[in-house]
Amino acid sequence: MKIYRSVQELVGNTPTIEITHIPIPNNCRIFAKLEYLNPGGSVKDRLGLSLIEDAEKSGKLVAGGTIIEPTAGNTGIGIALAAIGKGYKVIFVVPQKFSTEKQTLMRALGAEIVNTDTSLGMQGAIDKARELVERTQNAFSPSQFSNPANPYTYTKTLGPELWRDLDGQIDVFIAGAGSGGTFMGTSTFLKERNVNVKTVIVEPIGSILNGGTAGSHVTEGIGMEFLPTFMDRSYFDGIHTVSDKDAFHQLQKLSREEGLLVGSSSGAAFYAALKEAEIAKEGSHIVTIFPDSSERYLSQKIYDLFMEEK
C-alpha cells in the first residue's frame, strides 16, 4: 500500500512543467515548479513545516505553546498545516488588505486571525505580532523575515528538487521575493552546484529592490518594504520590477494557453522569465517557481483585472 499518514508528508516534491504552448523567445525553454500543488496550496508549506520542526528541536516551541506570526497568508497556511495534530495554539497577524480566501483557510486550519491596518503595511503586522509575543506565555514567533531557517528550507528542498528535475541543466533561475526566502535559499543551492547559474529576483512596482520606494501593488505575495538580514545582494544577477498589469496579463495567459491556474506572483515570475529569454543565450534553460493558485484570489476578480488594457 502507498498510503500517507499525515498531510505534512504531502509537502514538497511538486512537479516541474515546461511551458509548451506560449511562444518563448530565442529558442529558450521555460520550466516552472508548480508549488501550488502543495497540500496547503503554496510554496510556503515547505517553510511552515521546517519552521515548526526547527523550533521544536531547538526547544523554542514547547508542548502547549502558542505560535504567533505576522503573515500575508500563505506562510500562515503553511504554519497552520504544519501545526495540525500537535496541540499548539496558532495566531496570525494579517494586514487587512490580504485576500479573504487565505484568511478563511488559515481559520479553517484552526488559527486565530488578528487584522492590522492596511496603511501600516507589513511592518504594522510585524509590530503587532511582537507585542502579542511579549504578553503571551510560551509564545514562539517563527519570524520568517529574520529567521535563517527561512532560506535554509529552500536550500534543503526546492533547490535539490529543481536540480534533480532538470538534471542540473539550469542556466537561469528566477523567483519572486516577499520575504526573499525562496529566492535566496534556492539560489544558494544552485550556485553551490554551478556558479554560472544566473539567479534573478522579481518584485512588483512598489517594492524597493531596484531603488524604488515602497508602495501599494495588486500583485500579492511578493514585494519588499525592507531587505531582510538573510538577503545577499551578490545573488541579484538580475532584478525585474514588474507592473501589476504585466503580472496579471501573464497569469491570464497561463490559464488560457497552458491550463495553469496560478496567482499573480506566478504571473510576475513568468513575465520576468520571458524577458530573460529575450537576452539569454539561444536555447537556455530558464527555471521559475509558480508559488500559488488563482483560486486563492477569485474574490479579487483575478481573471478580470486589467482586461480592458489588453
Sheet with 66-70, strands from edge to edge, namely: 112-116, 89-95, 66-70, 139-140
Distance of closest approach, residue 138 Cβ to ligand PMP, in angstroms: 26
CB 48 within 8 A of CB 80: yes
Question: Is 102 a known active-site residue?
Answer: no
Considering 265, 266, 284, 293, which one is annotated as catalytic?
A: 265
Distance of closest approach, residue 114 Cβ to ligand PMP, in angstroms: 18
Strand partners, 45: none
Instruction: Select from 48, 95, 221, 267 the one that contacts ligand PMP (CB under 6 A).
Output: 221
CB 9 within 8 A of CB 32: no
CA distances for 247 relative to 36, 49, 165, 250, 254, angstroms:
17, 29, 26, 5, 11
Instruction: Select from 44, 128, 217, 249 the one that contacts ligand PMP (CB under 6 A).
Output: 44
Binding to ligand PMP by residue 176, rule CB under 6 A?
A: yes
Write out 82-96 in H/E/C secondary structure. HHCCCCCEEEEEEEC
**Stretches 54-62, 89-97, 107-115, 176-184: which one binds ligand PMP (CB under 6 A)?**
176-184
The smaller minimum CB distance to ligand PMP, of residues 65 and 126, is found at 126
Instruction: Select from 38, 50, 66, 74 the one that contacts ligand PMP (CB under 6 A).
Output: 74
Binding to ligand PMP by residue 222, rule CB under 6 A?
A: yes
Binding to ligand PMP by residue 180, rule CB under 6 A?
A: yes
Query: Total residues at the site for ligand PMP (CB under 6 A)?
Result: 19
The smaller minimum CB distance to ligand PMP, of residues 65 and 290, is found at 290
Q: Which residue is nearest to ligand PMP (CB)?
A: 221
The smaller minimum CB distance to ligand PMP, of residues 80 and 284, is found at 80
Give burial (CB, 10 Å; 0-12/13-18/19+) of 46. Answer: buried
Binding to ligand PMP by residue 291, rule CB under 6 A?
A: yes
Binding to ligand PMP by residue 78, rule CB under 6 A?
A: no
Q: How far apart are CA 33 and CA 165, in angstroms?
A: 9
Question: Is 265 a known active-site residue?
Answer: yes
CA distances for 180 relative to 140, 230, 232, 240, 310, angstroms:
21, 8, 10, 14, 31
Strand partners, 150: none
Distance of closest approach, residue 75 Cβ to ligand PMP, in angstroms: 6
CB 185 within 8 A of CB 155: yes
CB 114 within 8 A of CB 132: yes
Contacts with ligand PMP in 131-170 (CB under 6 A)? none
User: Would you tell me which residues interact with ligand PMP (CB under 6 A)?
Assistant: 42, 44, 72, 74, 176-183, 220-222, 263, 265, 291-292
Catalytic positions, written as ranges? 44, 265
